[in-house]
Structure formats: structure tokens, C-alpha cells
A and B are shown apart, each in its own frame.
Chain A
Amino acid sequence: GGIITQTPKFLIGQEGQKLTLKCQQNFNHDTMYWYRQDSGKGLRLIYYSITENDLQKGDLSEGYDASREKKSSFSLTVTSAQKNEMAVFLCASSINWGASQNTLYFGAGTRLSVL
């Protein structure tokens, strides 16, 4: 088995601040993902990385940057936090990108609040 660790669990920021969320996985999976979840809505894909050194934009990439520093880690940066923004950010990984029936494994999430 493996685990996905997201840090921090809670993140409080100020309007306009740059904020970074981190994710580590020990599954040795090739592909990693960042999703955003707003209350009452489904998960929306922000960025994904098919393999180390790769970055792909999802449907919600505007306002975010991402970095795949190494195979096991994938960071997400909120480039300018929006006032009153509240959301949960979920990191996930899958064995690879090659099959649409792959299972995704998720971390517990980072809950963001912007004052």
C-alpha cells in the first residue's frame, strides 16, 4: 500500500498572497493531480502531471501554478489569493496516464480560507 500526504491540512491566507500547497506520494505512481472542491460542487481539475517534469493544465488552471519537483512530489501555488475564497484542494495520483479506468488515490486535502 501507499499514502498521499498533503501539507498543510489547513491554510489561512490574506487577499493577494501567494500560497503553496504540497503533496507527496509513496506509491511510485507516474501521474499526479490537483483538484479543487467548492462546497456543493464536484471536484474540478486544476493541473496534472503525467510523469516527472511534465505539467498539464486542467479546466481550472487560471490563477494557479504547479511544479512536479520529482516523481513523488507535486506542488500547487495559488498565485494571488482571492478575498473570502474557501475551498478544499485535493491531491491524487494514479499508476500512469495510459488507461482511463485507472484508479485515483487521494490525499486528505488542504482546506484553504482567505481573509
Chain B
Amino acid sequence: GDSVTQTEGQVTVSESKSLIINCTYSATSIGYPNLFWYVRYPGEGLQLLLKVITAGQKGSSRGFEATYNKEATSFHLQKASVQESDSAVYYCALSDASSGSWQLIFGSGTQLTVMP
């Protein structure tokens, strides 16, 4: 079945430093899955950060970027300069229409802590 892997459970970065959160996926679709990053800020519900539905393209939001790399089956989240307000839990996810199910498959999440 489909799966999403986030290898880092927790990441700590100093303010103004660069960030990369890794995400790789496995999908059974004969086409390509849609890829998403969701984020949960402290005290808030999970919300969409960005999505990319076409292989090779890049999505961006709030200074974050992620490129859909179909050769590497990766969708890493990057930011050039993080802020304390970026501290949150980030989830990579995919949806795959191969089974006609459309459901979202989530990774285990990465807790980002930005130190002042």
C-alpha cells in the first residue's frame, strides 16, 4: 500500500537558520500521487500548508517550499530562514487515486522547535 516516511520525529533549529524536513513516499498509482504538507501550530487544528499535484513542480507558502521530485520520490520541506513562530508539527501526506479511494495517507510528523 501507499506510505509516507518522515525520518525525523523532532528537529531543533536556531532562529534565522535554514531548515529542511525530509519526506519520502511510496505510491501504487500508475500516475503520480498528490503531495501535501499540513501543519499544526500549538493550540490549533491541523491545516494545509502547501500542496503540489504535478510532478516536478514546487509549492510554496509562508516562506516554506517543497518540490515534487518523482525520481527520488521525495517532497522535502525547506525554509531559508526560520522564525520562532514556525515552531509546530509538520506532516507530509499523499493522496493516491489508484484504488479510487482518494484518502490522505499521512507521515508520522516532525516536531519543529525554533530557538530564539
Q: Which residues of A contact B (CB under 8 A)?
A: 4, 40-45, 48, 58, 90, 92, 97-109
Residues from chain A with a CB closer than 8 A to the CB of B95 are: 100-101
With an 8 Å Cβ cutoff, the count of chain B residues facing the other chain is 25
Q: Is B103 an interface residue (CB 8 A)?
A: yes
Q: Is B55 an interface residue (CB 8 A)?
A: no
A interface SS class: loop
Q: Which A residue sits closest to B51, measured CB to CB?
A: A101
Given contacts A40-B108, A42-B91, A43-B106, whether A107 and B45 have CB atoms under 8 Å apart is: yes
Q: List 10 A-B contacts (CB under 8 A).
A: A43-B91, A45-B104, A97-B102, A99-B102, A100-B102, A101-B53, A103-B48, A104-B46, A104-B48, A104-B104
In the bound complex, CA of A98 to CA of B102 (Å) = 8
Taking a contact as CB atoms closer than 8 A, the residue among A40, A41, A58, A100 that contacts B97 in the complex is: A100
